[in-house]
Amino acid sequence: MIASKQIQAIQDALKSVPCRIVPTSFEAEDAGLAGFPIHPQWRWDSCAQALFELKPHGVMMRLPLFWQLEVPLWYACRAARAPIFLNDPENIPVGVSALQLGGMDTVVTEQRDASTFADCVQKENGKLPQKWIVIHRAEDIWNIPALLSDCKVAQEVHLFPGLPILSQCPMLMVETSGIPRFHITKGNRYEPVTGNIETLPRGGIPSFELKAPPITGGELCACGELTYTQTV
Window 109-128: residues binding another protein (CB under 8 A): none
Q: Name the residue nearer to another protein (CB basis): 66 or 171.
A: 66
11 binds another protein (CB under 8 A): yes
Footprint of another protein on 127-186 (CB under 8 A): none
Q: Which residue's CB is nearer to another protein, number 14 or number 221?
A: 14
Alpha carbon distance 60, 63 (integer Å): 9
Q: How far is the CB of 35 from another protein (least distance, A)?
A: 4
Q: Is 141 helix (H, G, I), strand (E, B) or coil?
A: coil
Number of residues that bind another protein (CB under 8 A): 45
> Which of 3, 7, 35, 113 is in the footprint of another protein by CB under 8 A?
35
The span from the CA of 96 to the CA of 146, in Å, is 19
Give the containing element (helix H, strand E) for 189: strand 188-190
Name the DSSP class of 156: E
* Window 49-108: residues binding another protein (CB under 8 A): 57-58, 64-66, 68, 70-71, 74-75, 78, 81-86, 88, 90-94, 97-98, 100-104
Which lies closer to another protein via its Cβ, residue 112 or residue 217?
112
- Burial category of 46 from C-beta neighbours within 10 Å (exposed 0-12, middle 13-18, buried 19 and up): buried
Among 10, 3, 2, 5, residue whose Cα is nearest residue 206: 10
Per CB under 8 A, the list member of 2, 9, 18, 177 interacting with another protein is 18
Beta carbons within 8 Å of 73's beta carbon, 6+ residues apart: 44, 47, 59, 61, 63, 84, 108
- Where on the chain is the footprint of another protein (CB under 8 A)? 11, 14-16, 18-21, 23, 28-29, 33-35, 40, 57-58, 64-66, 68, 70-71, 74-75, 78, 81-86, 88, 90-94, 97-98, 100-104
